[in-house]
Amino acid sequence: MLSIFATPVTDEWGTSYQLTTAGYTALVIAMIALLLIGCAIFGSKRKFSAKQLTFSAMAIALAMVTSLLKLWDMPMGGSVTLFSMLFITLIGYWYGFGVGLTTAIAYGILQLIVDPYIISFPQMLLDYLFAFGGLGLSGLFHKSNNGLIKGYIAGILGRFVFATLSGYIFFPTFMPEFFDSAIVYSICYNGAYIGAEAILTLILICLPPVNKALKHVKSLA
């Protein structure tokens, strides 16, 4: 059954899976279905309007484009990008936890479509749906004072936790010899690129003109 959606590829790093046309098609369908389900669920109490869909789509598009603009690439996956995580956390900041989580998971599926690295189904879930979905935690601070800063921190911590779990569970063989603990290695590895981008982003959004502009965008959204 798996061969319908992905085929194994062996290289110097071991065996991974490459998506087939059916696999890409299934992911696109899953992403669309997820967004439609999210609209249906979260539209019951608050209408998921055309404006909300438009702003969310723009944020996802900006996140996707900036994720390709890498300031620093890690050797085994992960990178410091041009503020790509910020655009996804903005959606939760604008519209709350439900919409933020839905679109963050959809973004994870989009990342899987564009840049997949799969060694197993559980690893795929952790690295893409759960890790990127963690950015949706920003919606918990939707109505909070300094909600953008709090939400961004919550979102990147969510991504960090799942990325670290994935590294610890699925990639301990990549650990250098001078590390004697897989969990410490995973924390250091994932903390390096996620933390670096987080620091740069927090500096940016704490600048008064940027903070004021982002609050204005929220009022428009």
Supply the pLDDT for residue 44.
Answer: 46
Supply the pLDDT for residue 129.
Answer: 94
Supply the pLDDT for residue 191.
Answer: 95
The string of pLDDT tens digits covering residues 148-195 is 999 999 999 999 999 999 999 999 888 888 888 999 999 999 999 999
Distances (CA, A) of 40 to 116, 129, 162: 29, 20, 27
Place of tokens 């998921």: 48
Question: Is 184:65 a contact under the CB 8 Å cutoff?
Answer: no
Q: CA-CA distance, 167 to 162, in Å (whole number)?
A: 9
Rounded to the nearest integer, the mean pLDDT of the chain is: 89
Place of tokens 């604008």: 94
pTM: 0.91
| pLDDT over threshold 90, residue 42 | no
